[in-house]
């Protein structure tokens, strides 16, 4: 906890019997972890909250004040403390969801390889890493297929010509990923992955690098804040690579050790 000589921050946040503001808690925790002594003022009713917002000309709570200056809400506080850049706070865009999915898929693949072969670095582990990433990305889309398909229409060339493709896509991606993880029915999974990956890669490349459009990617679902770009393109390149690789392995051209 901060000592008596620590800088002081004044925080106003909603603390009501039926509502405890999560961003208020996060603001308080962040300030204390950064060494501030927090004067924690609770807004204990809706009327009290509305009066506070009217007095200070703000639309939301919590609100933090440091050195007599209003910093703002939780996002503004993160910028003030140097955690986020101002443009990040405004845009809300981040590659984190896709990066996390690829990392979890890779770690799971290494765990499976260790269990199956007694070693981490195998060709099968590399295959699992890619196929599991397809499954995890599909799960994100399948949480709200309608929302995904709506965002998908912003840039996918095939979905724009045939709208139902946007609703079929996540199921096809999931099926291909599951089959490739099992190493089964490659004659189905490989063409599916190759087709949807190639169409997706061309669509993303056209939207980003030819048309120069600033869009958000639907790769982790319709509520995604992931910007359409190289990381988005990587999902499709993974499917193209798997669509080519898996038949070669199934035909014995490449071993699994």
How would you write 102-171 as a 3-class SS string? HHHHHHHHHHHHHHHHCCCCCHHHHHHHHHHHHHHHHHHHHCCHHHHHHHHCCCCHHHHHCCCHHHHHHH
Residues near 118 by beta carbon (within 8 Å), at least 6 away in sequence: none
- 153/157 Cα distance (integer angstroms): 8
Structure tokens that stand for 153 in this block? 């229409």
Q: How does residue 169 score in pLDDT terms, banded at 50, 70 and 90?
A: very high
- For residue 213, what pLDDT band results from cuts at 50, 70 and 90? confident
Bond from prior residue into 62 cis (ω within 30 degrees of 0): yes
Q: 104 Cβ partners below 8 Å, 6+ apart? A: 136
Return d(Cα 218, Cα 232) in angstroms, integer. 9
The CA distances from residue 179 to 27, 33, 41, 172, 182, in Å, are: 45, 46, 55, 11, 5
pLDDT mean over 214-232: 77
- Predicted confidence (pLDDT) per residue in 121-146, tens digit: 888 899 999 999 999 999 999 998 98
* pLDDT at 255 > cutoff 60: no
- Mean pLDDT, the chain, rounded, equals 87
pLDDT of residue 168: 94
pLDDT band at 91 (very low <50, low <70, confident <90, very high): low
pTM, 2 dp:
0.70
- How remote is the C-alpha of 171 from its chain's centroid? 19
Instruction: Report whether pLDDT(228) > 90.
Output: no
- Count of alpha carbons within 13 angstroms of residue 111, beta-carbon side: 7
Looking at residue 257, its pLDDT comes to 47
pLDDT average, residue stretch 80-108: 79
Given a cut of 90, whether residue 111 has pLDDT beyond it is yes
Please report, rounded to a whole number, the percentage of residues in the chain having pLDDT higher than 70. 92
Question: Distance (Å, rounded) from C-alpha 178 to C-alpha 63?
Answer: 47
Give the count of beta carbons closer than 10 Å to the beta carbon of residue 151.
Answer: 22
Predicted pLDDT at 234: 85
The superfamily (CATH) of domain 8-91 is Glutaredoxin (3.40.30.10)
pLDDT higher for 85 or 253? 85
Rounded mean pLDDT of 64-79?
A: 92
- Region 87-99 average pLDDT: 67
pLDDT at residue number 30: 93
Distances in Å between the Cα of 105 and the Cα atoms of 112, 146, 185, 193, 224 are 11, 25, 21, 17, 19
Q: CA 20 from chain center: how many Å? A: 26
Quick check: 2 pLDDT over 70?
no
Q: How far apart are the C-alpha atoms of 213 and 206, rounded to whole Å?
A: 9
Residue 57's pLDDT is 92
The per-residue pLDDT for range 18-58, each reduced to its tens digit, is: 888 999 999 999 999 999 999 999 999 999 999 999 999 99
Question: What's the CA gap between 150 and 200, in Å, rounded?
Answer: 15
What mean pLDDT is predicted for residues 178-201? 93
């Amino acid at each position: 906890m901060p000592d008596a000589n620590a800088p002081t921050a004044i925080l106003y946040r909603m603390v009501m019997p039926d509502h405890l503001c999560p961003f208020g808690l996060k603001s308080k925790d962040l300030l204390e972890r950064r060494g501030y002594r927090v004067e924690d003022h609770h807004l204990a009713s809706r009327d009290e909250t509305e009066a506070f917002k009217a007095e200070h000309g703000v639309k939301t709570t919590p609100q933090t004040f440091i050195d007599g200056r209003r910093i703002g809400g939780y996002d503004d506080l993160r910028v003030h403390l140097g955690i986020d850049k101002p443009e990040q706070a405004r845009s809300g865009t981040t590659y984190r969801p896709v990066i996390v999915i690829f990392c979890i898929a890779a770690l799971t693949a290494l765990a499976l390889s260790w269990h199956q072969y007694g070693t981490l670095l195998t060709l099968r582990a590399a295959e699992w890493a890619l196929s599991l990433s397809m499954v995890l990305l599909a799960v994100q889309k399948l949480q709200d297929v309608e929302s995904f398909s709506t965002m998908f229409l912003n840039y996918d060339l095939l979905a724009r010509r045939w709208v139902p493709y946007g609703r079929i896509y996540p199921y096809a991606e999931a099926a291909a990923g599951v089959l490739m993880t099992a190493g089964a029915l490659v004659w189905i999974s490989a063409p599916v992955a190759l087709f949807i990956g190639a169409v997706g890669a061309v669509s993303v490349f056209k939207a980003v690098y030819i048309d120069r459009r600033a869009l958000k990617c639907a790769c982790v679902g319709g509520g995604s804040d992931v910007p359409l770009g190289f990381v988005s393109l990587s999902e499709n390149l993974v499917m193209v690579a798997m669509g080519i690789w898996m038949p070669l392995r199934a035909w014995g051209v490449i071993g699994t050790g």
